[in-house]
Amino acid sequence: MARKPQPPRTLDSLVATVRERYPDMSPQFQIGARHLIDFPERVPVESMRRIAAQAGVQPATLVRLAQSLGYTGWEPLRQIFVRGLAQAPRRYADQARATVGRRDPRSMLSRHADAQSANLQLLDDLNGELLADTARLLAKAPHVHIAGFRASHAAAYSLHYLYRLFRNSVSLIRGDAGLLEMELRALQPDDAVVIIGFAPYSQETMRVAEAAHNRGCRSIALCDSKVAPIARHADPVLIVSTDTPHFFPSSVAALALVEALSQQLLQRSGRRAIEALDQTEDQLRQTGAYLGQPPPA
């Protein structure tokens, strides 16, 4: 008789297991698992019923989810989060959400500003240790491809624009006029592919992620959840919050993270990047891309 697989014993292994099984989970399990992985700091301190309410599922769903992962019930799963987060840095999410959720006569602009402030405050906690590693990976890649569609296109375009100012071997995957497959044929082993996407995830983004995996590229995901479909084969995974009082996901935190990443890339390239940036700016002024007379040499 085959032995029953052992449940994950650490928070890192639990996250890896959830990411692996996520595509095959039921919709209710996906909702519960995503909430646990995205807001792990809540699990040790809040009741199962409250966590279930926050996630939008029944408490029994969390119990069955725990059992499907190999645990006897909710409490053994909760203990994984207790041990794993014992030394974790404090996050600002709870206080920020309470501020945004207050019922008061402030303007919509004020509520937007609070939401974006909360999103930005989370950036360092979520990505501080990963940003330098991401820049190192991209700097070593022979070619960097960047993809983002629909709501995530602005962040993808910004990263491409900024990086291309001081490096030529950077491409933006656009997929215009049905040419996505032709663009994906340019992916080569050892290239790096930055994939940016937020829920609801686009089909084009998933096709880029699958093509990058099949061609042996190194994938970097910039998304809103560790269990996002585009994060399945990505390493590292950079996380941003898209919370907003608006009906559309916010891209403010993603744009800020892109700017910070481009600065890291510039610093890693050093003098070569400065020289390339100087040449690029001269060319733009000489060709009339910028208004006004070019400065004297």
Residues of the chain below pLDDT 50? 1-2, 87-92, 95
pLDDT at 90: 41
The two tokens of residue 112 are 């937007």
Tell me the C-alpha distance between 11 and 238, whole Å: 18
Cα separation, 52 vs 50, whole angstroms: 5
What is the pLDDT, as a whole number, of residue 72?
92
Query: In Å, how far are 10, 31, 151, 214, 223 from 63, measured between CA atoms?
Result: 19, 13, 35, 36, 28
Give the residue from 255, 52, 277 showing the smallest Cα distance to 154.
255
Nearest to 160 by CA among 151, 169, 171: 171
Per-position b or e across 35-73, b if 16+ CB within 10 A of its CB: bbbbbbbbbbebebeebbeebebebebbbbbbeebebee
Locate tokens 């089909």: which residue? 203
**Residue 46 pLDDT:** 83
| Distance between CA atoms of residues 19 and 221, nearest Å | 13
Q: Give pLDDT tens digits for 123-176.
A: 888 888 899 999 999 999 999 999 999 989 999 999 999 999 999 999 999 988
Q: Would you state the pLDDT for residue 100?
A: 52
pLDDT in tens, 30-44: 999 999 988 887 888
Q: What is the pLDDT of residue 296?
A: 58
Predicted pLDDT at 1: 45
Domains of the chain: 11-84 (1.10.10.10), 127-286 (3.40.50.10490)
Residue type (1 letter), 162: L
Cα(123)–Cα(117) distance, rounded to whole angstroms? Answer: 10
pLDDT at residue number 293 = 62
Residues 6+ apart with CB under 8 A from 145: 170, 171, 172, 173, 186, 187, 191, 192, 193, 194, 212, 217
pLDDT of residue 219: 96
Cα dist from 6 to 9, 11, 63, 68, whole Å: 8, 14, 17, 11
CB 249 within 8 A of CB 224: yes
Rg of the Cα trace of the chain?
22
Q: Give the global pTM.
A: 0.71
Beta strands in 162-230 (DSSP E): 170-173, 192-197, 218-223
| DSSP3 helix / strand / coil % (the chain, rounded to 5) | 55, 10, 35
The confidence score (pLDDT) of residue 89 equals 39
Q: Quote the CA–CA distance of 144 and 175 in Å, as a whole number.
A: 16
Whole-angstrom Cα distance, residue 148 to residue 169?
18
